């Protein structure tokens, strides 16, 4: 379960870190910010690796750093855009690293959605995802559940797909509600 953060691990995680950063920033891979944030995230991970608790899973920790770096960069970019637009000062007071109440409510709603959808997954997918969240690799899960590695890959992919779908549906329902209320108001 315990993973070390060496060069091999960094190389293995780099595509996922880069893709996540591009996703959070909402830009293409070739954007300069993606490369900057990727380097920054990997640098922070290398420096802070000693603080990672023994036995803790490396992937969520590392991707969490990447998400944090990307969110910081996105907020900084938005601040700069607003400053350029002449709203200087106000946003600097409001923008913080912490999510605002609206963002927090959305996060809570999404977490609840994932939890609900997780409970509805087939047992095999639930077990695979749960073991994976605990930090086990595909091979370890394969040994634990006594199934071929390809089956583990499929369970994890299908499970995530189902959970992602539940999040998409939640976003769609929120959008539908907003549309309905705006139509009703007009």
Partner 1 sequence: MSDDESSMLHSSLIWDQDGHLSDIAQNAIVDAESALLPREAYEHAETCETCMRSIGQLAQVSLEIDDALKQLNASYLPQRAAESGMRRAVRLRHWPVAELGLALVIALLGQLPTLQGLSPAGIRHALKALVQVSLQVLQHVAATPLGAALPWIATGMLVAISGGIAYAAKRGLAHNLTSPLSSQPPRLR
**Residue of the chain from 104, 115, 177, 181 that contacts partner 1 (CB under 8 A):** 115
Choices 48-56, 84-92, 142-150, 172-180 (CB under 8 A): range interacting with partner 1:
142-150
Is there binding between residue 114 and partner 1 (CB under 8 A)?
yes
Six-digit token pair at 37? Answer: 């944030």
Is there binding between residue 120 and partner 1 (CB under 8 A)?
yes
SS3 178: helix
| CA 85-26-59 angle, 5° bins | 130
Choices 43-51, 74-82, 89-97, 111-119 (CB under 8 A): range interacting with partner 1:
111-119
DSSP 53: P
Query: How does DSSP assign 90-159, residue by residue?
Result: HHHHH--SSPPHHHHHHHHHHHHHHHHHHHHS-HHHHHHHHHHHTT--HHHHHHHHT--HHHHHHHHHHH
Least distance from partner 1 to the Cβ atom of residue 172, Å: 15
Q: Which residues bind partner 1 (CB under 8 A)?
A: 8-9, 11-13, 15-24, 28-29, 57-60, 63-64, 66-67, 108, 110-120, 123, 127, 129-130, 132-133, 137-138, 145, 149-150, 153-154, 156-157, 160-161, 163-164, 167
């Amino acid at each position: 379960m315990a993973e070390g953060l060496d060069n091999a691990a960094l190389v293995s995680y780099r595509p996922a870190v880069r893709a996540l950063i591009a996703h959070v920033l909402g830009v293409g891979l070739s954007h300069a910010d993606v490369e900057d944030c990727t380097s920054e995230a990997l640098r922070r991970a290398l420096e802070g690796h000693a603080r990672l608790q023994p036995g803790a899973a490396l992937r969520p920790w590392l991707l969490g750093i990447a998400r944090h770096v990307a969110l910081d960069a996105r907020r900084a970019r938005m601040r700069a855009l607003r400053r350029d637009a002449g709203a200087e000062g106000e946003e600097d007071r409001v923008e913080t690293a912490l999510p605002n109440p609206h963002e927090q409510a959305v996060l809570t709603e999404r977490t609840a959605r994932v939890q609900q959808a997780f409970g509805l997954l087939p047992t095999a997918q639930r077990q695979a995802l749960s073991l994976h969240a605990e930090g086990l690799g595909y091979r370890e899960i394969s040994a634990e559940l006594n199934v071929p590695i390809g089956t583990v890959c499929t369970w994890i992919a299908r499970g995530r797909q189902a959970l992602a779908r539940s999040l998409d549906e939640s976003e769609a329902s929120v959008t539908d509600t907003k549309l309905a209320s705006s139509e009703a108001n007009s």
